[in-house]
Each structure stands twice: as C-alpha cells, then as structure tokens.
Amino acid sequence: MAQITLKNLAHSYKPNATADADFALKEMDHVWQDGGAYALLGSSGCGKSTLLNIISGLLRPSHGRVLFGDRDVTDAATAERNIAQVFQFPVVYDTMTVRDNLAFPLRNRGMEPDYIKARVNQIAAMIGMEEILNRKARGLTADAKQKISLGRGMVREDVNAILFDEPLTVIDPHMKFELRTQLKTLHREFGHTMIYVTHDQTEALTFADKVVVMYDGRVVQMGTPQELFERPGHSFVGYFIGSPGMNFFDATVAGHTATVLGETLALGASYAPPKGRVQIGIRPEFCVLGRSGGLPFSIRRVEDVGRHRIIRGTVAGANVNVTLPEGMEIDADANRVLFAPEKINVYADDWRVSPEGEEN
C-alpha cells in the first residue's frame, strides 16, 4: 500500500490547451494518505472520473506527476500500479462462473489454491453470493453482475488502492446501503486506501472519513463530513452539501459585524474586511424565525420531510430556507429570520475567509 501524491497535476483533453477553460482538471497538488477512506464528490462533469483514471493509469495527465510512495508512476501502465478499479457498469466474464470471476485476479497472480478458495468464499459472503458461486455470470441481472465486479475489485489484499467510480449506480436501493456498509467494514479490516467517486452526498458522507469535493475541475475542499457541514471552504460546498444547502447573502463585513440589506448582524468571530464579492453563509439548521432582529422574512411554504420541517421563504425576494426541528411550532406571525452568530461563515469571491485567530 502507498500514499498517493499528485504534484502540479492538470489535464486537458485538447491538444495545445492554454486557457483555464480548456482543462478538465485545473492544476492541483493533493495527497491521498495511505489507508484513507475517501469520497470524491462533485456534480456531473467536474472531473472526478478524469482524476480517477489518472490515478489508475488509464489516462496520462497532460501536466504534472503521480507518485505512489516515493515512486513516480506517471508513465507506468495500469498493471504496474497494483490498483483495483470498479466501474459504474459491470465488467464480468459472462462465460465464467461467479467463483471464477471472483478468483480471476488471485489466479492471475499465482496465489495458492487454498488461499483463493477461502478468500473467494469470504468475498462471496460479503456480496451475498455464496449460493450462486457455481453459476455462470451470463444471464445474471445487472445488479448481480455489478456485485461480482465489486467483489472482484476487493478480492486482492495486496493492492495499493481500490478505486470505485460510482459503483452503486445499477444496484437496487435497498442493497446500496448494505454494500456501502460492507465496504466500510472491509476498509476497517484491511486498511486499503479507497477512493470512492460519487455525485451523491449521502453516499459520500456515509462511506468516507474524508470527503474531497470537486467543482469545475478543482478540489475545493477536503474535510470530514462535519468540517464540510460546519465550515464549507467554498460556496459550492455550502450549496452542494446539506439538504437544503446553505443560505448566502451579499454583505459587508468588518470586525464582529456583517451588514446585510442595511441591517446589522452579529458574527461569532472577528474579521479583517475581506476583498472581492463578500457574502455570509448560514445553514438552514442554524436559522430561527422571530418577530424582531435578523432580516425581514416572508414564509412561502412549509415542507414536512419526516423528522423535521423546512420553511421555504424569501428575504428581499431571494430564496431562504429554515429548518424547523421536530416538535417546534411555527409562529404564524413571525416575519424575521435570525442567525446563530457563531454558525455564520464569511466568503470572499466564493472562498471561505478565516476569522482572526482561527488555526488552519
């Protein structure tokens, strides 16, 4: 196993690319710690698969280097990198049995038959396929075939990393949760570096210890689910993580106060006046309705989403959401929205501004 380092990495699918917009991956430096469980999260087209294929060696980056430990593997073929990759759609040998499909990577490496048998049985139990080990893969459902692909991706214990590219897309929703839990168990047991690509925040937040959020070809934040929730490093993380996402307001900020729509709001920390387009961001969970203070608020509608309710409203015509905890009544005369000062984040040109005295 190895730490994976990306050095000045960038990629364009176009020859002679120069403009920023020509790059599917903008220049980045990034380290994936040995044994980490990472999710690579972002919306469609932000560059997740490009990055994964560069790590696995399916794609050569147009700029920069890829290191496994101290070894430069930028020009090494996929086979030399000792990586397992599971794709969105099943890749199985139809004419082989389920057992032979699972055993394939181990036989390829000349492992002992007894070891292969035991390991295949262990993986088959994990993916719920012990009963059909002797069946040919041909004729199985896409869901079953994808489970074989997942199993085959995880069967080798000696890989540097396992890369998953949206592996649960074709899996039945009930099974998704179970397989994700199994992947986590396997990670705890074997300590492989795992990178799991998804555009689904629930998948990312439940699978990973560290979530890497990509936006427009860049890594905009890497953090624990809690860090992404409490201190989104970029406004995209604020919008993308959480349901509904963060509320943003144009503001002027100085010291412990923000001014929004001519009203003064207290901040939980002190800021040097930021440059650029300044906004404050507050999650719906940290907003409450009242009759004085805060900002003027009009309720549009209330949505019941199970354990809590979401109040959809507007502040000066712009949409603002407030999450109402279970059991709390709505004051029908409330016409202001108030924010917990210590939960407000400040942004300049979409990037979070650290308050004075915050350790990075």
Q: How far is the CB of 167 from ligand ATP (least distance, A)?
A: 13
Local structure of 340: helix, strand or coil: coil
Count of residues interacting with ligand ATP (CB under 6 A): 11
Q: State the Cα–Cα distance between residues 75 and 60, nearest whole angstrom.
A: 7
Beta carbon nearer to ligand ATP, 137 or 219:
219
Q: State the Cα–Cα distance between residues 295 and 206, nearest whole angstrom.
A: 35
Residue ranges in 191-258 assigned as alpha helix (H)? 201-207, 225-230, 235-240
Beta carbon nearer to ligand ATP, 44 or 292:
44
Q: Which of residues 4-63 bind ligand ATP (CB under 6 A)?
A: 13, 24, 42, 44-50
Q: How far is the CB of 163 from ligand ATP (least distance, A)?
A: 12
Of the residues 199, 234, 283, 352, which one makes contact with ligand ATP according to CB under 6 A: 199
- Order of strands across the sheet with 25-32? 25-32, 4-11, 63-68, 71-72
Beta carbon nearer to ligand ATP, 99 or 234:
234
Q: How far is the CB of 182 from ligand ATP (least distance, A)?
A: 23
Q: Are 334 and 289 in contact (CB under 8 A)?
A: yes
Q: How far is the CB of 27 from ligand ATP (least distance, A)?
A: 15
Q: How far is the CB of 149 from ligand ATP (least distance, A)?
A: 17
Q: How far is CA 248 from the centre of its chain?
A: 22
User: Among positive and negative, which fits the CA dihedral 24, 28, 33, 36?
Assistant: negative
Q: How far is the CB of 71 from ligand ATP (least distance, A)?
A: 25
Local structure of 297: helix, strand or coil: coil
DSSP 291: S
Beta carbon nearer to ligand ATP, 47 or 242:
47
Q: State the Cα–Cα distance between residues 5 and 67, nearest whole angstrom.
A: 5
Beta carbon nearer to ligand ATP, 199 or 352:
199
Beta carbon nearer to ligand ATP, 16 or 226:
16
Residues that bind ligand ATP (CB under 6 A): 13, 24, 42, 44-50, 199
